Every structure is written in C-alpha cells, then in structure tokens.
Amino acid sequence: MTRSEELFQRAVKRIPGGVNSPVRAFGSVDEAPRFIQGAVGSKIFDVDGNAYTDYIGSWGPMILGHNDERIKEAVIRASENGLSFGCATEREVEMAEFICQRIPHVEMIRMVNSGTEAVMSAIRTARGYTGKNKIIKFAGCYHGHTDAMLVSAGSGVMTSGVPDSAGVPKGCTQDTMIAVYNDLDSVEKLMAESQDQVAAVIVEPVAANMGVVPPEDGFLQGLRDLCDKHKALLIFDEVITGFRLRFGGAAEYYGVTPDVVTYGKIIGAGMPVGAYGGRKEIMEMVAPSGPVYQAGTLSGNPIAMAAGLAQLKILWEDQDIYKRLFQKGEILFEGIRKIFVEKEIGNQVNAVASLGSIFFTETPVRDYQSAKTSDTAAFSKYFEYMLEHGVHLAPSQFEAIFLSDAHTEEDIHQFLELINNYF
C-alpha cells in the first residue's frame, strides 16, 4: 500500500469522501487520490516520491507555475507583519487600484474569499440594482456551490452524475432559469417567459466546467445585446478565464463588455481569494455604500492580497506571457488533433489559448448535452495511463487542461508522445 492510499484510508474516516472538494476525488477513475507534498515549476510531487508534470495547476491559479520565487517572497514579507488583522490595510487599496486602473469595465471591486462568494455576491448585487429576481444561467456551467447556482451545474456535480444537490430547497432555485450554452434563442425565449423580470444573465464566457467549450461566433455579443434589450445585467464569471486568456480576461479576448465580472484563482496566486467588480453605479449598491449586504471576516486578507498582487503585477509587466501561453496551447492541442486525424480517432479537442479538453466522443462539443455524450469509461483508462506515465490531469472528463508559463516544450512534447503511444 502506498502512502497516498494509507492517507486516503485515514481521510475517509474523518473527511466526507476523504477530500475537501469533490473535484479532488478519484472515484470516477477508480483510483485513490494522490496526496501531494510539494511542487515547483511544472512539476508536482506526491508523498510517495513520485514526480508528475502537472496540468491542473491548482485548478488554474498557477499560471506562472508552482512555487514561483517572486510570489513566495511576497508572501514571506507580508507574513512578517502578521497573518490577519480584521481591519483595512493598504494592500487592499493597492489591489483595487491596480485592477480598476487596468480593466476598463471594472470601476469598483470588492474582495472576497472564493469564486463561489464572488458569484453569490454578484448575483445579489444584480438583483438589488435591477429590482428583479430572475437569473439565467447555462446548463453545464458551474458558478460555485451556492444554492441558486446548483442547478444543471458542471464541474464536480457533472462528474458525479448528480444534476442538482440534496439539501437545496426548491424555493432557492425557483428564480434560476436554465438556458442552453451557445444558443441565443434559448435565452431570448426565457427572457420573454419571464416578462422582463431577469436581473442578470451569468455565463462562463469560455465554459470550462463541462470540459472546455468555447463560445461560438456572436454568442457573447448576442448575450450583451439581449441584456441591453431586456434591461438585465450581463455577468461574466471569469473565475477561470480572468487574467488567463489575456490580462483583461475573456472580456478583452472576445471584445465583449460585461456589467459585472467575478474573479478567483489567478487573482489569488493560489491563496483563497475571489472578487467581483463592475460599473460604479452597480457596485455602489454594496454595503456599506448601499443596501445590498455582503461581508467577510477574512476578505482582503493581507497575505492573500500580497500573493495575488505580486502575480498580477508580473502578468501586467510581462504580457508576452500570454503570447507564450497561446503558443504552447497551439503546440499541445493542435498536436493532439493531428494525432487523432492521423489515427482516424473521432475524439474531440476543444481549446482556447492555454485551456483545453479532450472529449471522448465523436460528437462536436458545443454545449452540456453534447459534452455528456463523452465516454467516461474510456477517459478513465486514458487518465490511468497518463498518471502511470507521470502526467497529472484532472480526474474527470469534464475538467480543463491548464497550461502555465513554467511548462516547457519538452513537457509538451512528452505529453504528445504519450498521447501518440496510448492511442
């Protein structure tokens, strides 16, 4: 028995399912999760001394690679003054100024502790600002684990095959309406059915929690137009895409401006951080400026702010990082497509810049229903092979491959060689 297996046996006795987040479970691939001891660059090391090239990157935050010395130094310096004060700090102001001065659609921003908190608060703010209650989300898009969002959600909920969650009363979801991703007609129909009582449309501009599903041409702009027409707010959930596709996230990448945006992951550089921001008149609805209440004891934590601000400054000052990430994505994902064509394999490869997914289906994946045609048993066998050969992937068909600036051409070519050998 390995140390990871021993630790998992201990964990299941005290932690539900043995993990503190369902996406870390290896149940869908019939494995015990690997318990990680450390990481550096593109490599991650488990408690048994095995090394893997990591394509999870803590589910996205590690865009520079693991344990970046510049981030680590910022955290060490900040921690010398204390870990938390429950009071305002200068670094919170610096973070807010840094983002608002560089993201045109973010005039004000509020820090929270997770992407889930950010989405919950953004939706509450949208309802307070518009005076409406209905929310439109898309089947297969994951927006955290608040009650109103656990309807046709992606990510871990999708992997487990549970469409909704026990413990969520019907009353919490009665104002959540479900549209079809990449289908503007489904959104317009819901707008009409609601009699213009939709406060906001929330969308992952690149759906990355049912596997990576890019927006089709005109889809995001169409949402912008529909929201304007029906006086609803457009919320971009950029917890994954924010500061990844470009510094300005998917909004900059696709040239579509949301009213409100949510951030997480990269904004904290691996620390528990989320944020939501938007136009001034919307954000001034938030307490103590306005009547929409939202609070958090550890929000704006000085250590988290130090880590996140350090990473954002690096990304802003060296935006060639985004060119490098795009090039790496081209090499990897186009390389996989080429192998599949040469071997006459029908699997789908979806990708946007440094995000991508292999879908074990011959059906083009453009929404939740087509993603669900994937052969999860086939994925499980592939996952096991890759793990045995030192490649650390998300243990789910419906999660993304994340590239970082630390991944080398050698890493990517080894990945492609393994793909070629497996298939």
The yes-or-no answer on residue 68 being catalytic is no
DSSP 8-state symbol, 114: S
Pick the catalytic residue: 46, 237, 405, 411? 237
Q: Is 142 tagged catalytic?
A: yes
Helix (H, G, I), strand (E, B) or coil at 141: coil
Query: How crowded is residue 321: how many other Cβ atoms within 10 Å of its Cβ?
Result: 18
Q: Distance (Å, rounded) from C-alpha 241 to C-alpha 317?
A: 19
Q: Which of 55, 129, 142, 276 is catalytic?
A: 142
Q: How far apart are CA 230 and CA 296, in angstroms?
A: 33
What is the spatial distance between Cα 276 and Cα 126, in angstroms, rounded to a whole number? 11
In 103-113, which positions are buried (b, 16+ CB within 10 angstroms) versus exposed (e)?
bebbebbbbbb
Of 265, 322, 405, 411, catalytic: 265
- Ramachandran angles phi, psi of 200, nearest 5°: -160, 150
Q: Which residues pair with 415 in a beta bridge?
A: none
Q: Is 340 exposed, middle or buried (0-12, 13-18, 19+ CB in 10 A)?
A: middle
Annotated catalytic, 422? no
135: left (phi over 0), alpha (psi -120 to 50) or beta: beta
- Residue 169 has what DSSP assignment? -
| Catalytic residue list | 142, 237, 265
